[in-house]
Structure 1
Amino acid sequence: MTLPAHQPPRTTGGTVAYVGSRTTAERSGQGRGIEVYGLGPHGDAWKPLQTVELENPTFLAADHTRRFLYAVHGDFSYISAYRIDPDTGLLTALGRQETGGRNPAHLAVDPTNRFLVVANHSSGTVVTLPLAADGRPGPVADSLSLPGTPGPHRTEQTGSKPHHVPFSPDGRFVVVPDKGLDRIFTLTVDPMSGRLALADPAPSVQTRESAGPRHIAFHPHLPYAYTIDELRSTVTTYRWDARLGALTALQTLPSTAPAMSGDSRGGEIAVSPDGRFAYASNRSGAGDGSPGGPEPDTIGLFAVAAESGVLTPVDWFPTDGIRPRFFCLSPDGHRLYAANERSHTIVAFDVDRTSGRLRPTGTVVRTGSPVCVLIL
């Protein structure tokens, strides 16, 4: 771990952004690891505070006390843990732990703060790791292989490829989009043992062939959820049965603009805190191996129907960069930050509170290969 010579403090209660990146030559990475920034009062003055040099910290998550930060390391086989200084937001390493699989892609902390759930993307498993009171992760408590038949895409669907492991809004289920099997699984986690199980009687829902479901976002107060489907560049609306943990497909729409004619891959999806809008990112080009372009990468805006939950396309906004693998909304929903992996920028947008439309603020953070932004 390498820290800068000067680490400016922040005031207690200030906002900090943690940026994960790709660092390896195999991924054309130009990042250095986790970059820590102090944000100004309006989220438009990103001040570098710390660099933690690591290999491919490609997704980040905090525990529910916001005292600890966890990172998966894409293309490797471990996660790492850090203590968050409550006054400065700076990170101190607590160690790493193997995940029992390859290429961990996403992680989440269970509602009890006792377990970390990790998706091993390349080996098709979801695992749990116990968390000690001091934030340190222990060895794998349980591992579950996801069952099913791979989709027809010859290179992207060679087997199970879980990509996302968020908890449902009530914390009872882990919902797992599997890009390789064209399925979305619902799992339970035993809060005492960390044992994983497929939900009964609704363990999974089949998606469209070659959809490649990547990430899922729940509506904040209605019984609906939305996926970004990577391989088809579509957005699918589902009804969510919180009692059974069951998803029922209602609608599928292109995530790209009607005039988009080239290759594209879906990246990220989010629902605004007020539940009125959904956003989805589109990465031009045929997969991670392509340089991107020539068409602009965009974030699509969709209006959410207040009663039915279905989406209506509104507009598409260029991200002013290449390969928005990730974006996030600020906690109040007034800003959106697009992480352009291949052009090495995080671009800030104002979110119009009435229309949901995006407008660049002029804030552009230049950082190597950003692929995740966590704002605390």
Structure 2
Amino acid sequence: MFAYVGSFTTVERKARGAGIHVYRADPASGAWTHVQHVGDLVNPSYLAVSRDERFLYCVHGDGDYASAFSLDPETGRAKLLNRAAAGGKNGVRQAVDPRGKFLIVANYASGSVAVLPIAADGSLQDQHQLLDLPGEPGPHKTEQPSSHPHDVVFDPSGRFVLVPDKGLDRVFVFRFDAARGRLSPAETDCVKTRPGAGPRHLAFHPKLPVVWVLNELDSTVATCRWDAGRGALTPIQVVTTLPTDFTGYSTTAEIAVTPDGRFVYCSNRGHDSVAAYAADADNGSLTAIGWQLTQGRGPRFIGLDPAGGFLHAANEQGDTIVTFRVDAGSGLLAPTGQVIRNGSPVAIVFTGTG
């Protein structure tokens, strides 16, 4: 099993990263061993892997393009294939369609979503569709001046793409034409969140028709019913990601769900913790079970390994990746003692199962 870590690299980001790092990950112990450093990359931040695990894709924070890499299944090493225009500024998240033919990119600064074709050799072509996201900005004057899409997620069927927009307090829903690689608004094209919530990321339950939406600005996570026929979201619950006795400034960053759907984790930047929840087996509603400090500043990313046995917290401001063992019975986290030094880490993806 291999882990790929993206990072911020520029002075403008006050960053200390140096490209993409590749690690061999032991699924039994959670231990990582460094394999490769892919340098000469500017802010290779969020990462995505094709479903056949042959290719890696990344967007470049503050840039206007995405990059493609081929992956060696034996060594885990990544080789740059090419770069292609994403049609907007500051791509923050991307997703590969289930057939591996298209890459969908959220352009945060430009308020747009782009579709880039993927060639048979895994390389990218320039975007062939660009959609601007409409709506009124939220009430937060500095964080919500305009549309700021922050994630793109395919539903389990691959027929819909969901885009949480932090700037507009909306989650957009698009139908995806897999043959042509085109997005179009779904019947219920968006759901509005609470004003000032700032929806950032979302995750599907692996079995139930449930979506969890992580709200950055008000530090909450919303449980929503998912209508897979119409592509519609209906919120049923909102809970805080912070302990009741915390009064400082904090924003959320990432959400992770165990493979069995029993537990959900959300990272807090400011409180510098991971909030852990048990998910109801019938409707996915969340009950807080505890908070685990990430042993570093600014956990911009948290990620579970494919088996769900370990959670890794990428502390962007602390320049560390800290590993926690997941208790399969309780869902609680316990540090393993592993602390990987990695400048300004902001994303982790995995390939392989052993």
TM-score (norm 1): 0.92
Considering Cα pairs closer than 8 Å and 6+ residues apart, tell me whether 1 or 2 has the greater RCO. 2
1:217 aligns with 2:203: yes
1:298 aligns with 2:285: no
Q: How many Å apart are 1:41 and its aligned residue?
A: 4.2
1:149 aligns with 2:118: no
CA distance in 1, matches of 2:289, 2:143: 30
* Structure 1 equivalent of residue 158 of structure 2: 171
Find the residue that maps to 2:188 and give its secondary structure: coil
List alignment gaps of at least 5 residues for structure 1.
Answer: 1-14, 285-295
CA distance in 1, matches of 2:284, 2:73: 39
Q: Residue deviations 1:76-99, cap 9 Å, x none?
A: 111011110122110111110111
Q: How does 1:110-121 map to 2 (within 5 A)?
A: 110-121=97-108
Residue 18 and residue 43 in structure 1: after superposition, are their counterparts in 2 closer, same or farther (change >3 A)?
farther
* Structure 2 equivalent of residue 186 of structure 1: 173
Q: How does 1:52-131 map to 2 (within 5 A)?
A: 52-53=38-39, 54-131=41-118
* Structure 1 equivalent of residue 230 of structure 2: 244
Q: How many Å apart are 1:228 and its aligned residue?
A: 1.1
Q: Residue deviations 1:97-155, cap 9 Å, x none?
A: 11110000001111121110000011011010100000111111101111111101101
CA distance in 2, matches of 1:43, 1:202: 45
Q: How many Å apart are 1:43 and its aligned residue?
A: 4.7
CA distance in 1, matches of 2:24, 2:99: 29
Q: How many Å apart are 1:273 and its aligned residue?
A: 1.1
1:372 aligns with 2:347: yes
* Structure 2 equivalent of residue 204 of structure 1: 190
Aligned CA RMSD, in angstroms, stands at 0.9
CA distance in 2, matches of 1:273, 1:46: 21
Residue 161 (structure 1) aligned to one of 142, 148, 167: 148
CA distance in 2, matches of 1:314, 1:34: 34
1:141–1:193 contact (8 Å) kept in structure 2: no
* Structure 2 equivalent of residue 49 of structure 1: 35
Q: Which amino acid aligns with 1:190?
A: D
Q: How many Å apart are 1:274 and its aligned residue?
A: 1.1
Q: How many Å apart are 1:27 and its aligned residue?
A: 0.9
* Structure 2 equivalent of residue 29 of structure 1: 15
CA distance in 1, matches of 2:55, 2:27: 23
1:144–1:197 contact (8 Å) kept in structure 2: no
2:211–2:223 contact (8 Å) kept in structure 1: yes
2:152–2:162 contact (8 Å) kept in structure 1: yes
Q: How many Å apart are 1:275 and its aligned residue?
A: 1.1
Q: Residue deviations 1:171-220, cap 9 Å, x none?
A: 11111000000000111222122221111x21000000000000001111
Residue 251 (structure 2) aligned to one of 265, 272, 276: 265
List alignment gaps of at least 5 residues for structure 2.
Answer: none
1:235 aligns with 2:221: yes
Q: Which amino acid aligns with 1:158?
A: P
Ranges of 4+ aligned residues in structure 1 off by more than 3 Å: none
Find the residue that maps to 1:129 and give its secondary structure: strand
For these two proteins, the number of residue pairs brought into alignment is 350
Q: Which amino acid aligns with 2:106?
A: A
Q: Which amino acid aligns with 1:345?
A: T
1:362 aligns with 2:348: no
CA distance in 1, matches of 2:27, 2:211: 31
1:279 aligns with 2:279: no
CA distance in 1, matches of 2:49, 2:29: 19
Q: Residue deviations 1:46-102, cap 9 Å, x none?
A: 211111111101100111211111000010111011110122110111110111100
* Structure 1 equivalent of residue 303 of structure 2: 328
